[in-house]
């Protein structure tokens, strides 16, 4: 005779709630949609750039000189406007493509999870390690941390605050949501695995910054690999957004100190 539920010696029934697993785009779908997002991102930046150049030509016809037009590529106001516009549109399409995948919540898909206090201290340790590594790299490379691109951008910014917002907030939000978010999640479970995903996202992220010199691009590649490892271990997109924003903040502060002759 089977004991009744609730009687001594019985095993209580446990109602198990199945853990919600987001439906992810596969590897090839992620690549295809990622290319589409990046194409839209570049198109928006190009539209902003063309509008900016036309405005400059109307106000200053003498800059039709090719050398003067080339300098506009590092104009702080153009960089601010293009970064803000492309980041907003790019994030919008990331959200759209995730929503199209029915059953996939945005927070679950991108793994937007809270970070524990312990993890924050670990991230700060990682950041300090990267700064030390970068400083050692400076001694070997014998090149300034601040590339001329960022120096020119800051010197030509009519609204420096807008440049700070674009570089510290909007750039990390889009780039991390795309590379270590949408693309990372889609490729991580594909045949290339975690190591391949870290390599692909690091290289593609580096190519996005082709406006920098070789020194800057090598630095970004190293950062990309470090960010990828952190992203894989911590399993939270906030981890790399935090590191990225902090790194850009230090870079901006360094640029200002360099311009004012405080550091060399």
Q: Which residue has the higher pLDDT, 74 or 169?
A: 169
Gap between the Cα atoms of 115 and 191, Å rounded: 29
pLDDT in tens, 194-244: 999 999 999 999 999 887 888 888 889 999 999 999 999 999 999 999 999
What count of other Cβ atoms lies within 10 Å of the Cβ of residue 133?
14
Q: At what angle do helices 76-100 and 27-59 cross, to 10 degrees?
A: 150
Would you say 87 and 168 are in contact if contact means Cβ atoms under 8 Å apart? no
pLDDT in tens, 250-259: 999 999 998 9
Burial 32-49 (b: 16+ CB within 10 A, else e): ebbeebbeebeebbeebb
On the question of pLDDT at 65 being above 70, the answer is no
Give domain status of residue 16, yes or no. Answer: no
Burial 148-171 (b: 16+ CB within 10 A, else e): ebbbbbbebbeebebbbebbbbbb
Q: Check residue 72 and give its pLDDT.
A: 77
Give domain status of residue 208, yes or no. Answer: yes
pLDDT in tens, 22-38: 688 999 999 999 999 99
Give domain status of residue 1, yes or no. Answer: no
Q: Which domain holds residue 77?
A: 27-259
Q: Which of 200, 164, 204 is nearest to 84 (CA)?
A: 164
pLDDT in tens, 44-60: 999 999 999 888 778 87
Tokens describing residue 233: 């271990």
Give domain status of residue 124, yes or no. Answer: yes
Give domain status of residue 48, yes or no. Answer: yes
On the question of pLDDT at 264 being above 80, the answer is no
Give domain status of residue 264, yes or no. Answer: no
pLDDT in tens, 107-144: 999 999 999 999 999 999 999 999 998 888 777 766 55
What count of other Cβ atoms lies within 10 Å of the Cβ of residue 74?
19
Tokens describing residue 111: 């793994």
pLDDT in tens, 171-194: 999 999 999 999 999 999 899 999
Q: Check residue 197 and give its pLDDT.
A: 97
Could you tell me if residue 26 is left (phi over 0), alpha (psi between -120 and 50 degrees) or otherwise beta? beta
Give domain status of residue 199, yes or no. Answer: yes
DSSP per residue, 53-119: HHHHHHH-GGGGSHHHHHHGGG-HHHHHHHHHHHHHHHHHHHHHHHHHSTT--HHHHHT-----HHH
Count of structural domains within the chain? 1
Give domain status of residue 80, yes or no. Answer: yes
């Amino acid at each position: 005779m089977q004991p009744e539920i609730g009687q001594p010696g019985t095993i209580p029934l446990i109602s198990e709630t199945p853990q919600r697993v987001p439906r992810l785009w596969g590897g090839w779908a992620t690549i295809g949609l990622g290319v589409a997002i990046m194409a839209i991102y570049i198109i928006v930046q190009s539209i902003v750039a063309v509008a900016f150049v036309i405005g400059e030509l109307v106000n200053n016809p003498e800059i039709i000189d090719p050398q003067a037009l080339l300098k506009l590529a590092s104009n702080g106001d153009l960089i601010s406007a293009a970064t803000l516009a492309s980041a907003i549109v790019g994030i919008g399409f990331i959200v759209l493509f995730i929503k199209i995948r029915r059953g996939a919540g945005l927070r679950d898909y991108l793994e937007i999870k809270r970070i524990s206090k312990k993890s924050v201290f670990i991230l700060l340790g990682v950041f300090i390690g990267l700064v030390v590594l970068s400083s050692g790299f400076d001694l070997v490379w014998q090149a300034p941390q601040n590339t001329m691109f960022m120096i020119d951008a800051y010197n030509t910014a009519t609204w420096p605050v807008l440049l700070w917002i674009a570089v510290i907030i909007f750039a990390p939000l889009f780039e991390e949501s795309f590379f270590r978010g949408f693309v990372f999640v889609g490729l991580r479970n594909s045949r290339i695995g975690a190591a391949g995903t870290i390599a692909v996202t690091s290289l593609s992220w580096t190519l996005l910054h082709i406006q920098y010199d070789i020194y800057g691009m090598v630095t970004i590649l190293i950062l990309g690999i470090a960010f990828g490892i952190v992203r894989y271990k911590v399993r939270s997109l906030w981890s790399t957004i935090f590191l990225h924003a902090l790194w850009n903040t230090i870079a901006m502060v360094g640029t200002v100190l360099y311009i004012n002759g405080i550091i060399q």
